[in-house]
Amino acid sequence: MHIQQAPENPAETDPVGKNPFQLICHKFRSDLAVPNVTGVGDVMMYTRLVEEVAMRYGRPINLLTGPIQPTDGVGALKDEEPFPIWRGNPFIGQIFDLAELSPESMTLVNASHERHCHFGHIISNICAEYGIVPRAIRPSLFLTEAECRDALLKLSRLPRPVLCVHPYGTSSPKVGHPWYEDEWHRLLSSLPPTMSVVEVGVHGKEDKGFSNKRFRTTIREMMALVWASDMFLGFDSSVAHVATAFGKPAMVLWDPIRKSEIDTEPGMGPAAFARWSYPQNKNLMLLGESQGEIRRIAIQWISDVMRSIGAQY
């Protein structure tokens, strides 16, 4: 990662205009400080802010953050690298480990997460604190040439198109819900043999025993496999954010009951869809289904995507 020195006094040359952590940034000669919690997807939401700020400065920025540390083990990996979301990002000159430099400052930055105005998508909510309107509502993620090539080679023997599925997620349905397992079996068994299905999951943590090709990955390996696939179908999760970042056709399933159970602060559960869903995706609520309606919509969506890329269903 190329190292670009920050201005002597960012406050004097700051084209952004707002920075809630200006004093912390000035102390450590950096431009921006962002959280390293609560989950992998949460950290991804700050990648758009980094790109927007770098474009305002007209140079790669120096970033203060800590090694990714999902709260309650959400998305935590045993052998994961410290900054998987940020590697390869051309908008970053240098990363300074704020958790090591100043644990109390890292705690302060992390405490700001989710305390912004929740008027729209979380990317817009975050950027608004800096006086920025984001140019796109999607994460800003980057892979290396080697990572892309390796992912393509891993999928090279599979018939195209390739559907990447992720039937997991913090807010996905619990055991007993049709979409915990049964509807996935029915959906996958209905797909034509002319296409392939690959499943990505976190190491050995997630495995429902589906018969499709399965990859247990690190975060970076997961990102590359999603990039190398033709489309994505899964629950709201970090994998869905990756698919959106790379512009893949994506169908995302939402369980509003689970969202309300997790987001217990008044109003946050009902607001989850507006805050986390992307309008460019096909978003479906798992609410009131009784006759396999969601599965049929998913099959039709897959068929439509296949036709759009010149494949036969």
Q: Both 109 and 186 in a single domain?
A: no
Question: What is the rounded CA–CA span in Å between residue 11 and residue 29?
Answer: 11
Same domain, 120 and 152: no
> Range of 28's domain?
22-128
pLDDT for residue 115:
87
**Do 191 and 272 belong to one domain?**
yes
Same domain, 245 and 299: yes
Number of domains in the chain: 2
Boundary (domain end) residue, out of 128, 162, 196? 128
Q: Is the pTM of this model over 0.75?
A: yes
CATH of the domain at 258: 3.40.50.2000
What is the pLDDT at residue 212?
Answer: 76
Residues 94, 218 within the same domain: no
Tell which of 128, 162, 191 closes a domain: 128
Query: What's residue 293's pLDDT?
Result: 97
108 and 152 part of one domain: no
Q: Where are the alpha helices (DSSP H) in the chain?
A: 22-27, 40-44, 47-57, 98-101, 103-111, 122-128, 145-154, 182-190, 219-228, 238-245, 256-262, 268-276, 293-308
| 247 domain-assigned | yes
pLDDT less than 50: residues of the chain? 1-12
87 and 118 in a single domain? The answer is yes
Q: Are residues 58 and 167 in the same domain?
A: no
